[in-house]
């Protein structure tokens, strides 16, 4: 990852012709992807960014990410959680991301209250960041899994987090 990606200020995309901004944005996205190959997973032939990717993007963009709402839900015999997170940039722009996880989505041994709730929070947190930075996609945690995975699409390289990584903004969802 190039040195200028360590912290991305809101002035990184200064006003210029839209085509140039879009090309710069896509180049930035490609640089981030290349810097964190172990944070991308292939599921059913498509690549998806994992939770650790979205956490790193939140730190790189200096985003404040907070839980706006949470609740336990039931649908017939099934139960789960719903949550809403808000990601806010230093320039005041914000975007919300929602997430739901139902117990029926989990393997029986993973249907604990903790696992279902934390998976819900992960989905909402990831979406809030993705919505704000404009990647506009679902994270790996939201994809139906038809095959064994968790194998990075490229061999992982050592990742040296910037010193700011320890100060992750906002409330972090618990590990899945």
Identify the helix (H) or strand (E) that includes residue 127. helix 113-133
145: Cβ contacts below 8 Å, ≥ 6 apart:
43, 44
Q: Is the pTM of this model over 0.85?
A: no
More confident residue, 109 or 1: 109
Residues in the chain: 176
In the chain, where are the structural domains located? 3-165
pLDDT one-digit tens code per residue, 4-51: 444 555 555 455 677 887 888 888 888 888 998 998 888 888 888 888
Q: Radius of gyration over alpha carbons of the chain, in Å?
A: 17
Q: Is the pLDDT of residue 57 over 50?
A: yes
More confident residue, 108 or 149: 108
Mean local confidence (pLDDT), 151-176:
37
Mean local confidence (pLDDT), 70-83:
96
pLDDT of residue 175: 38
């Amino acid at each position: 990852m190039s040195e200028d990606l360590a912290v991305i200020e809101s002035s990184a995309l200064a006003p210029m012709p839209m085509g140039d901004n879009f090309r710069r944005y896509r180049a930035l996205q490609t640089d981030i992807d290349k810097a964190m190959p172990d944070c991308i997973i292939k599921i059913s032939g498509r690549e998806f960014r994992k939770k650790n990717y979205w956490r790193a993007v939140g730190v790189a963009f200096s985003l404040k990410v907070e839980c706006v709402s949470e609740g336990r839900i039931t649908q017939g015999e099934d139960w789960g959680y719903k949550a809403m997170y808000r990601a806010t940039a230093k320039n005041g722009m914000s975007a919300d991301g929602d997430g739901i996880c139902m117990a029926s989505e989990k393997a029986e041994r993973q249907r604990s209250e903790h696992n279902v709730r934390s998976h819900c929070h992960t989905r909402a947190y990831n979406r809030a960041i993705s919505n704000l930075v404009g990647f506009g996609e679902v994270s790996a945690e939201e994809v139906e899994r038809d095959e064994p995975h968790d194998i990075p699409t490229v061999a992982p390289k050592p990742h040296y987090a910037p010193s700011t990584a320890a100060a992750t903004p906002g409330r972090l969802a618990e590990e899945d």
